[in-house]
Amino acid sequence: MSVLIAGAGIGGLAAALSLHAAGVGAAVVESAREIRPFGVGINLLPHAVRELIELGLGDELAAIGVATAENVYADRLGRRVFTEPRGMAQGYRWPQYSVHRGELQRLLLAAVRERLGADAVRTGARVVGFGDSGEWAGPGERGGVRVRILDRATGTVEESAARALIGADGLHSAVRAALHPQDGPLLWSGIRMWRGTTRAEPFLTGRSMVIVRDGDAELVAYPIGGGRVNWVCQVRVSEPGPLTGDAAWNRVGRLADVLPYFDHWRLGWLDVPGLLVNSGEILEYPMVDREPLPWWGSGRVTLLGDAAHPMYPVGANGASQAVVDARVLARELARTGDVPTALARYETERREATAAVVRANRAMNRAGARTPEELARVTDTYRDTTGGDVRTLNARASLGRR
C-alpha cells in the first residue's frame, strides 16, 4: 500500500516527488481528465526553490524560470518609490523564480512519471470520500484508509486501499470538506483580480517585478520567460466578506471590465494598457482565502497546500508553502513508520506556520503602504512572520534531512 495523494497540482506533485525521495511509496489521483498547462504566472520563493533543487530539479527550473532580481514599487507615472532586491541579489543562497504555472506543473509531472513510474499519476479520477479500514495490513503495520475514487469516464466509484490519504486537492478540496463539514465559506477580500500573459519587450532589468498602486487599483507585472510578461490587475470594489459567487482559477475575464481602471496609466518603461489589450487571454479570480483551521487531519488523512491553507495570492507564497508542506510531510513519514504519528507531527510543524502566512498576506494586503519607509517595514515584517528571513533560511538544515 502506498500513500495516496488527491490532486496533481504543484503541491500534490511535489509531495509525490518528496515521498519517493524519502523512500515512501506514493501514487497520485487527479480529477482533471488531462493535465493541461493551466494558469499564468506564479512565483517560487527561495525556501521553495531550495527544496526543488534538493529534489534534483535545479537545471529544469532554471530553464523555465526567470530569476527575479528586484521588486520595484512605483506610482502610475512610473516613478520608483521603493526597490527591494530579491532572491540571490538579496543574499539568499537560492534564487526566486517567476514561472508559468502550467510549465512548472508539467516539469513536476514529468519528474513524477520518470521517477515513480508512468502510471504513478492517474487522471480523470476524483477522490469523493474515504473511511478507516482496520482490516488491511501494510508491511509492519495494521490499518489503512479506504479511499473512494470516481472514475470520471465510466461514472463508477471504486475503493482503493492506502497507507495514508493526502488531500492536495486545492481550493475546493473534497478531502477538507469531508474532514471539516462545518468549514466556513471562502472569504473575499473585496478585490477582483484579472490576470494574463502578454508578449512584450523586457522592462527595467529584464528580471524585475513591478508593483504599481493608484488608489484602489494595483498592477503586479513580471517576466516569465519566452518573451512573455505576466500581469495581475487588482481592484478593490467592495468591503471584505463571505464570497457569494464562485472562485475558479480558470474563469475567463473581460477586457472591458478591467481596462477602464488602467487605460490612463503611463509608466514610461512599461505599456500597461498595451499589456491588457494584447493579452492572449484574460482570467478573472476573486482574491479569496479561508479562516485557518484549528486542526487539519485525523488518523491517516491530512491536507496539504491550498486544501489546507488557501491564501491571498499576494506574498508569492501559495505554491512555495505547498512545496514546503510536501517536504515536511515526506520527512515525517520517512522518520516514523507509524502513519498517524507522522501526520500529526507534520501538522504540528506546518499548521501554525502556514496560518501565519495566511494572516500576513491579509495584513500586507490591508497595509496600503506608500512611502519607502512604510514599504520597507511591511516587506521586512512579512519576511519575518512567514519564515523567509535570509539568515534563518541560509543557516537552517535542509527539510529533507532526517
Ligand X SMILES: Cc1cc2nc3c(=O)[nH]c(=O)nc-3n(C[C@H](O)[C@H](O)[C@H](O)COP(=O)(O)OP(=O)(O)OC[C@H]3O[C@@H](n4cnc5c(N)ncnc54)[C@H](O)[C@@H]3O)c2cc1C
Write out the residues near ligand X by the rule CB under 6 A. Answer: 6-12, 29-32, 38-40, 42, 101, 126-127, 168-171, 174, 195, 249-250, 305-307, 313, 318-319, 322
Provide the 10 A C-beta neighbour count for residue 162.
Answer: 26
Q: Given the complex with ligand X, which of 78 and 323 has the nearer CB atom?
A: 323
Q: Given the complex with ligand X, which of 78 and 287 has the nearer CB atom?
A: 287
Q: Is 46 exposed, middle or buried (0-12, 13-18, 19+ CB in 10 A)?
A: buried
Q: Given the complex with ligand X, which of 78 and 305 has the nearer CB atom?
A: 305
Q: Given the complex with ligand X, which of 50 and 101 has the nearer CB atom?
A: 101
Question: Can you tell me the distance from the alpha carbon of 217 to that of 198, in angstroms, rounded to the nearest whole number?
Answer: 20
Cell 517567476 found at:
98
State the nearest-atom distance from the C-beta of 298 to ligand X, in Å.
18
Q: Given the complex with ligand X, which of 78 and 319 has the nearer CB atom?
A: 319
Q: How far is CA 11 from the centre of its chain?
A: 7
State the nearest-atom distance from the C-beta of 383 to ligand X, in Å.
19
- What's the chain's Rg over C-alpha atoms? 21
Question: Can you tell me the distance from the alpha carbon of 204 to that of 217, in angstroms, rounded to the nearest whole number?
Answer: 22
User: What are the distances in angstroms from CA 276 to CA 80, 254, 261?
Assistant: 22, 10, 11
State the nearest-atom distance from the C-beta of 336 to ligand X, in Å.
24
Question: Can you tell me the distance from the alpha carbon of 329 to that of 322, in angstroms, rounded to the nearest whole number?
Answer: 10
Joined together, the cell numbers standing for residue 139 give 508491511
State the nearest-atom distance from the C-beta of 112 to ligand X, in Å.
13
Q: Given the complex with ligand X, which of 107 and 322 has the nearer CB atom?
A: 322
On whether the CB atoms of residues 386 and 356 are closer than 8 A, the answer is: yes
On whether the CB atoms of residues 291 and 260 are closer than 8 A, the answer is: no
State the nearest-atom distance from the C-beta of 397 to ligand X, in Å.
24
329 bridge partner residues: none
Cell 515512501 found at:
24
Q: Given the complex with ligand X, which of 78 and 209 has the nearer CB atom?
A: 209
Question: Can you tell me the distance from the alpha carbon of 402 to that of 399, in angstroms, rounded to the nearest whole number?
Answer: 8
Joined together, the cell numbers standing for residue 201 give 519587450
State the nearest-atom distance from the C-beta of 256 to ligand X, in Å.
21
State the nearest-atom distance from the C-beta of 47 to ligand X, in Å.
14
Q: Given the complex with ligand X, which of 78 and 364 has the nearer CB atom?
A: 364
Strand order, beta sheet including 66-67:
41-44, 97-100, 66-67
State the nearest-atom distance from the C-beta of 320 to ligand X, in Å.
8
**Secondary structure of 2-19 in HEC code, one letter for each residue:** CEEEECCCHHHHHHHHHH
State the nearest-atom distance from the C-beta of 40 to ligand X, in Å.
4
State the nearest-atom distance from the C-beta of 230 to ligand X, in Å.
8
Provide the 10 A C-beta neighbour count for residue 238.
Answer: 11
Provide the 10 A C-beta neighbour count for residue 353.
Answer: 17
CA atoms within 13 A on the CB side of 243: 19
Q: Given the complex with ligand X, which of 25 and 124 has the nearer CB atom?
A: 124
Q: Given the complex with ligand X, which of 78 and 150 has the nearer CB atom?
A: 150
Q: At 53, which helix (H) or strand (E)?
A: helix 46-54
